Structure 1
C-alpha cells in the first residue's frame, strides 16, 4: 500500500528549505546598503577602550578629513573575508589623506585575541579601536561588517553592510572631490 504525502509533510519540507536558505544567506554576509544609516548623520565620537596597530602616542583626529570606519569582529567570518579587499582600498586612498579605522565592540578580555588576529594579517595596517560599544550604540548598526564613509564635514556619505559591498571607491572619490 502506497502512502501519499500530506499537505503538512510538504509544508514542513518547504519551511525547512526556507530556513536553510535564510541561514546560508545570513552566514554569507550578503551585501546590502544600510537602510537605517542615513546620509548626513554626524560621526559619533570614537569612544573606545583602547587602540591597537598604532604608535603608542596615537590620537585619532578625524576633523576635516574623509574617514572610513570599518565595524568588524574577530569572530565574524564575513568581516575576515573583507580584510584583503579593504586593505587594497586603504593602500590606494590612505596616501590621498583618507583616514581608516577599524572598530570592534569586543572587550578588554578579547584584547589578546584581537592582537593575534591583527598580527596574523599583515595587510591589516589601519588603526583598530576595541571596546567601541559607544560608537556601535550611537548609530543604528544592522550587522557587521559595516563600512561607513564620513566626509570632511564629519557627516555620513555612504555605508554598506555585509561582505562584497560595492560603491566604496566611488563614495571615497565623491567625498574627496567635495570642497573641504
Structure 2
C-alpha cells in the first residue's frame, strides 16, 4: 500500500511539472505584451477542410460576400465546449441578419465519429463544421482554441478573440453589419 501511495505522489509531481512546463511554453511562444499577431485586415484563408458536418449531404460552406464568424474549436477542448452555448445565442440572433457561421477543427477523418457524437449531444450547435482544417489553422497565427474570428464581406478580419467568454463579438458583428449596410 505504501508503494501505491509513493507511485501516486510521483504521478502527481509529474503532472505538476508537465503543467508548469506547458504553461511556460505557452507564455514563451505567445506574442509579447498580450498583443495578438493576428491583425485586423488579414485576409481569410481558403476553407480547405477534409469534410463537412452539420450541412445537407453534398453541400459545402461558401463564405463569399458574407460576414463570416469562424469558430476554431475541438471536441477535446474544455473552453471550446464552454463557448458553444454563448455562440449558439449569437448564431440565433445574427444568422437571420445574413451573418454566416462556421466551426473549424483540426481533428482528422478518424475523429469524425467523435465529432458527430459530440454534435449529436449538442443540438444548439447548428452551424456547419469543417474537420481536417489544419491548412486554415496554419495560415494564421492562431494562439490557441477556442478562437473566434469575424471576417467582413470583403474577406478581411474585423475582430478576433482567444478563449471562452471574451467580450466584443456582438459589437464586432454590429459594426460589420453597419459597414456592409
Structure-2 residue corresponding to 1:90 = 91
How much has 1:57 moved relative to structure 2?
A: 2.7
Aligned to 2:7: none
Alpha carbons 2:52, 2:131 under 8 Å: kept:
yes
CA distance 1:34–1:134, change in 2 (3 Å):
farther
SS of match in other structure, 2:125? coil
User: Which secondary structure state, in structure 2, belongs to the residue aligned with residue 171 of structure 1?
Assistant: helix
Between the aligned partners of 1:121 and 1:62, the Cα distance in structure 2 is 24
SS of corresponding position for 1:178? helix
Give the distance between the partners of 1:158 and 1:137, measured in 2 at CA: 18
Cα pair distance change 1:157/1:67, threshold 3 Å: same
Q: Does 1:44 align with 2:51?
A: no
Unpaired segments ≥5 residues, structure 1: 1-15, 27-32
**Which residue of the partner structure matches residue 99 of structure 1?**
100
Kept in 2, the 8 Å contact 1:34–1:161? The answer is no
Q: Give, in whole Å, the separation in 2 of the partners of 1:164 and 1:39.
A: 20
Structure 1 residue 36 displacement after superposition: 1.3
Find the structure with the greater CA-based Rg: 1
User: Whose helix proportion is higher, 1 or 2?
Assistant: 2
Per-residue Cα deviation, 1:34-80 (whole angstroms, up to 9, x for no partner): 61110000000000000001101312221111000000000000000
Instruction: Identify the residue that residue 79 of structure 1 maps to in structure 2.
Output: 80
Give 1:62's aligned residue. 63
Aligned length: 156
Moved over 3 A (4+): none
More contact order relative to length (CA 8 Å, sep ≥ 6): 1
Q: 1:89-126, CA deviations, whole angstroms, 9 ceiling, x for partnerless residues?
A: 00000000000000000001100000000110000000
TM-score (norm: length of structure 2): 0.81
Contact 1:71 1:145 in 2 (8 A): yes
Which consecutive unaligned segments of at least 5 residues does structure 2 have?
1-16, 28-33
Q: Secondary structure of the residue that 2:70 maps to in structure 1?
A: strand
Residue 118 of structure 2 corresponds to 117
Cα RMSD after superposing both structures: 2.2
Retained in 1: the 8 A contact 2:52–2:60? no
Q: Secondary structure at the match of 1:124?
A: coil
**In 2: Cα distance, 1:124 partner to 1:82 partner:** 10
